[in-house]
Amino acid sequence: MSVATGEKPVLSVRSLCKNFGALAVTQSVSLDLYPGARLGLIGPNGAGKTTLVNLLTGMLAPNSGDISLNGESINGIRPEQRVKKGLVRTHQINTLLMEHTMRDNVAIAVAERRGFAWRTLRYGPQWRACLEEAHTYLSGLGVAAAGDRRVSELPYGQQRLLEIAIALSLKPKVLLLDEPGAGIPSTDSHIIDEALEKLPAEIAILLIEHDMDLVFRFARDITVMVQGAVLISGTPAEIAKNPEVRAVYLGRSQQV
């Protein structure tokens, strides 16, 4: 991993373990994310990538191990509070508010971040400020023109971009992108590439992705997981050359 000297990791995972009964889905995983990191996490189906994301976001509790954000342990902190501390994820399958407009989806997140979402009776100017800020995130990703449309009417690619816009509007320090390109037809895959390029440089990003091309274009470091454990970490070039990885992952995907 690229370790900038003297810089502290913004997200640090130490010996994280999770069992479902006798099945060890996460086996002593350790990794560090530094500010500005672009870490790709790959592995065959069932390698425990999504479980790891759920452990990091707090949807699952680990059996042992430690997760710290900005040097502060966040074990036992509820998912929504981890979000407030800057640990934000996107979802592999859309979890958008389909009945709301695109802009409202972002504005609701902005209101939540600003601690403004408890307002019930007096809110006019502040809500308009939330809508304005939501608009800037949408236009940053080039989808502001559809801001007034209900999410259920939007093309799938734009829904994927909306996921990213919502995550950005929460001003994350660490962003976990869970298969941002999932379900997008290959002819449209460039829109995710472009969106990922525009992500603010200082955010530490963990990209979990099936699309090898996307990972190798985007990530500066790659960690390979197999059967719940980290197999190897290295630069994309190292990973691509590694015979073990080719055998266990890349080779396998060629057979399929």
Partner 1 sequence: MSDQTATKPALDFTPPRSGLAALQLRDAWHLLPWGIAIAFYFYADGFHSFGTNVLIMVLFTLSLDLALGYAGIITLGHAAFFGIGAYTAGVVAVHMTTDPIAGLILATILAGILGVLTGMLILHTQGVAMFMLTLAIASMFYEVANQWRSVTGGDDGLTVPRSAPLLAYFGFAGFRFDFRGMTGYLYTLSVVFVWFVIAWRIVKSPFGRSLDGIRQNPRRMRAIGTPVWWRLVAMYGISAAMAGTAGGLQAQATRLVGLTSLELQLSGIVAVMLVLGGERRLYGAFLGAVFFMAVQDWAAAVNPVYWMFVIGGLLMAVVLFLEGGLMGLLDKIFGMFAGKRVENAQPSSNEVKAGEVKTGDAK
Positions in 103-142 near partner 1 (CB under 8 A): 104, 108-109, 111-113, 116-121, 123-124, 126-133, 135-137, 139-141
DSSP state of 201: T
Backbone angles phi, psi at 70, to 5 degrees: 55, 40
Q: Are 94 and 163 in contact (CB under 8 A)?
A: yes
Chosen residue from 5, 45, 254, 255 binding partner 1 by CB under 8 A: 45
Closer by beta carbon to partner 1, 24 or else 97: 97
8 forms part of the interface with partner 1 (CB under 8 A)? no
Closer by beta carbon to partner 1, 158 or else 242: 158
Chosen residue from 13, 18, 89, 205 binding partner 1 by CB under 8 A: 89
- The site map against partner 1 for 183-212 (x = CB under 8 A) is xxx--x---------xxx-xx------x--
| Least CB distance to partner 1 at residue 237 (A) | 25
213 forms part of the interface with partner 1 (CB under 8 A)? no
Stretch that binds partner 1, among 5-13, 14-22, 44-52, 229-237 (CB under 8 A): 44-52
Site for partner 1 in 150-189 (CB under 8 A): 151-157, 159, 166, 168, 170-172, 179, 182-185, 188
| Least CB distance to partner 1 at residue 39 (A) | 19
Based on C-alpha coordinates, what's the Rg of the chain?
19
* Secondary structure of residue 144 in the 3-state scheme: helix
Q: How many CB atoms lie within 10 A of CB 84?
A: 14
209, burial (CB in 10 Å: exposed 0-12, middle 13-18, buried 19+): buried
Chosen residue from 17, 144, 229, 250 binding partner 1 by CB under 8 A: 144
Q: CA nearest 37: which of 66, 68, 4?
A: 4
Closer by beta carbon to partner 1, 71 or else 124: 124
Q: CA nearest 90: which of 195, 227, 233, 201?
A: 195
Which H or E run includes 176? strand 174-178
Closer by beta carbon to partner 1, 143 or else 248: 143
CA–CA gap between residue 195 and residue 157 (Å, rounded): 11
Q: Are 37 and 29 in contact (CB under 8 A)?
A: no
